[in-house]
A and B are shown apart, each in its own frame.
Chain A
Amino acid sequence: GQNIDQPTEMTATEGAIVQINCTYQTSGFNGLFWYQQHAGEAPTFLSYNVLDGLEEKGRFSSFLSRSKGYSYLLLKELQMKDSASYLCAVRCYNQGGKLIFGQGTELSVKP
């Protein structure tokens, strides 16, 4: 079956760096997505990785290792507004290409 694991909760300090890990066990891997979801709001797209390596976009970076079934989202210079749930999702071509989401990591940024 398909399995995606993320930590349930994390806490970090404003201005610091935090790394949110995601491990997956799937067949037919065809891309990994990170979404941010503030309480009561829509998930919003942050990043996409399909090849191994690091993708950087401003304060956010995402890394993928397909051989290890592992990804992380790196948030730099944390701001209070970064307090949200971060969702890791894997797309598998043998599942009709649908996204399979992890449970999400609730990040709290404290002053």
Chain B
Amino acid sequence: EAGVAQSPRYKIIEKRQSVAFWCNPISGHATLYWYQQILGQGPKLLIQFQNNGVVDDSQLPKDRFSAERLKGVDSTLKIQPAKLEDSAVYLCASSRRGQVLAKNIQYFGAGTRLSVL
């Protein structure tokens, strides 16, 4: 089966500009996650969707970050305006069901590497 698709792979912008990332999860996966991975650190969850509803966005900086998953399939993550500290890899992951169930492996995309100058 096809994996999690993300685009673009790389993006370079100047601070205060806006940027959007796109994710297409594995077919049939109800749950979609966006993570931020700063160099040398583990991924940090930004937002989790179950179908097209938000389950957890407690660590999303809502003054500048937004995300949507309108039809319960593809998702976009937007940053507006970007700051220097937003430079990171943005990973999208999907799983069959919500996290509270056993195992429920998350499958990751290759990510979008964002550099804010």
Contacts and interface: CB of A to CB of B under 8 A. Distances in A.
Interface in A68-111: 87, 89, 91, 93, 96-99, 101-104
B105 A98 contact: no
Interface residues of B, number: 26
A89 B56 contact: no
Contacts, number: 59
Size range of the chain A interface in the assembly: 20 to 34
A96 B44 contact: no
A43 B40 contact: no
B45 A98 contact: yes
B110 A98 contact: no
Nearest to A6: B42
A45 B105 contact: yes
Contact of A98 (B40, B48, B103, B107): B48
Interface of B: 3-4, 40-45, 48, 55-56, 91, 98-103, 105-111, 113
Nearest first, the 3 A-B pairs at minimum CB distance are A97-B99, A101-B42, A97-B100
Interface of A: 4, 30-31, 33, 35, 40-45, 48, 50, 87, 89, 91, 93, 96-99, 101-104
Given A42-B109, A99-B99, 5 more contacts: A42-B108, A43-B43, A43-B91, A96-B100, A101-B44
